[in-house]
Amino acid sequence: MNGILALWKPKGMTSHDCVFKARKILQTKKIGHTGTLDPDVEGVLPLCIGQATKIVPYLTDTSKTYVAEVSLGTATETEDKSGAVIEEKPVTEPIPLQAIESVLQQFTGEIEQVPPMYSAIKVAGRKLYEYARKGQEVERPIRKVTIHEIVLDKASVSENGSVFRFTVSCSKGTYVRTLCVDIGKALGYPAHMSSLERIQAGAFRTQDTVTFAKMEEAMEAGSMEQLLQPITKAVDFMPLIEADAVIEQKVRYGQRLKRPAEADLYRVQKGDQLLGIYETHPAYPHLLKPKRVFVSGKAGGTDAND
């Protein structure tokens, strides 16, 4: 079984929980997820199965789209609704819709974020949440992320403007919790993220997803293959090298290819079959070297690190 299963992750489960349950349902250990979602978050979680596990890093690096809800007036230690309240300032005057839209637009493009203490970012070899659980505050590294687009859901804005939702498309590594807190600060209030859904991860969107119940039904009916998305869909953002017989043979044996243009990463396909992923050779920039190979001169696929 090889392919990508776009799971709709339910609330109350970690991403690891989802992988564990999927392994039991599909009766296979070779499953990997493509980006952690907190237990309180639901949404699109692509699961890579079989040969597709080789492309996990590339799916993790793709942009994501979320629908987030901001609640102004209270800040929490975790920056979401699960944490203890650490600051309060009631919203006593209505916040104009135009003010909210104006502030949101200030966060488009490349921005800087200080990751929350309750996160898995490592400082001095330890995860931030490990410090946080011991009540220790440490200096956190500033990270640069990119907000491609942020749009206010006008219909969601509460009467006084203290609660609203927005849709955000962002780069890998963006903490939407922190974005909500920073938006609140720009509006003059403590804030936290009160809900979050991921509606897109790379090429996979809400409409592509299946639930655990659907997976179980498909396994019982013997139709699981019909739910799998092709591996090629996950890497279609990479420039394509169409393989003829000569290129196919080179890929099968993990040989280098000529670099056709300035891009650093390429997918090599023969028709609809993904043969490999190639990257610029560090010593010979006019050449590409194999990073992942899905076919080989022998049986099965190989990882290439030469």
Q: What is the mean pLDDT of the chain?
A: 90
Domain ranges of the chain: 3-62+202-233, 66-192, 238-303
More confident residue, 166 or 231: 166
Question: What pLDDT, on a 0 to 100 scale, did the predictor assign at position 110?
Answer: 96
| pLDDT for residue 132 is more than 70 | yes
CATH of domain 238-303: 2.30.130.10
| pLDDT for residue 301 is more than 60 | no
Q: What is the 3-state secondary structure of the chain? A: CCEEEEEEECCCCCHHHHHHHHHHHHCCCCEEECCCCCCCCEEEEEEEEHHHHHHHHHHHCCCEEEEEEEEECEEECCCECCCCEEEECCCCCCCCHHHHHHHHHCCCEEEEECCCCCCCCEECCEEHHHHHHCCCCCCCCCEEEEEEEEEEEHHHCCCCCCEEEEEEEECCCCCHHHHHHHHHHHHCCCEEEEEEEEEEECCEEHHHCECHHHHHHHHHHCCHHHHCECHHHHCCCCCEEECCHHHHHHHHCCCCEECCCCCCEEEEEECCEEEEEEEECCCCCCEEEEEEECCCCCCCCEECCC
Domain 3-62+202-233 fold = Pseudouridine synthase (3.30.2350)
Q: How far apart are CA 264 and CA 262, in angstroms?
A: 6
* Band of residue 297 on the pLDDT scale cut at 50, 70, 90: low
| pLDDT for residue 298 is more than 60 | no
Query: How confident is the model over 98-107, as pLDDT tens digits?
Result: 999 999 999 9
Read off the pLDDT of each residue in 21-27 and give the average, rounded to a whole number. Answer: 94
Question: What pLDDT, on a 0 to 100 scale, did the predictor assign at position 296?
Answer: 65
Cβ-count burial of 226 within 10 angstroms (0-12 exposed, 13-18 middle, 19+ buried)?
exposed
| pLDDT for residue 304 is more than 90 | no
Question: What pLDDT, on a 0 to 100 scale, did the predictor assign at position 268?
Answer: 96
85 and 76 Cβ atoms separated by less than 8 Å:
yes
| pLDDT for residue 124 is more than 90 | no
Read off the pLDDT of each residue in 198-208 and give the average, rounded to a whole number. Answer: 94
Read off the pLDDT of each residue in 244-264 and give the average, rounded to a whole number. Answer: 94
Question: What pLDDT, on a 0 to 100 scale, did the predictor assign at position 306?
Answer: 44
Question: What pLDDT, on a 0 to 100 scale, did the predictor assign at position 303?
Answer: 45
Question: What pLDDT, on a 0 to 100 scale, did the predictor assign at position 131?
Answer: 78
Catalytic residues: 38
Read off the pLDDT of each residue in 126-154 and give the average, rounded to a whole number. Answer: 86
Tokens of 147: 């907000």
Radius of gyration of the chain measured on its C-alpha atoms: 22
Q: How far apart are CA 52 and CA 231, in angstroms?
A: 6
CA-based end-to-end distance of the chain: 28
- Tell me how far the alpha carbon of residue 244 is from its chain's centroid: 34
| Pairing mode, strands 191-201 and 42-49 | parallel
Domain 3-62+202-233 shares a fold with domain 66-192: yes
255 and 266 Cβ atoms separated by less than 8 Å:
no
Domain 66-192 fold = Pseudouridine synthase (3.30.2350)
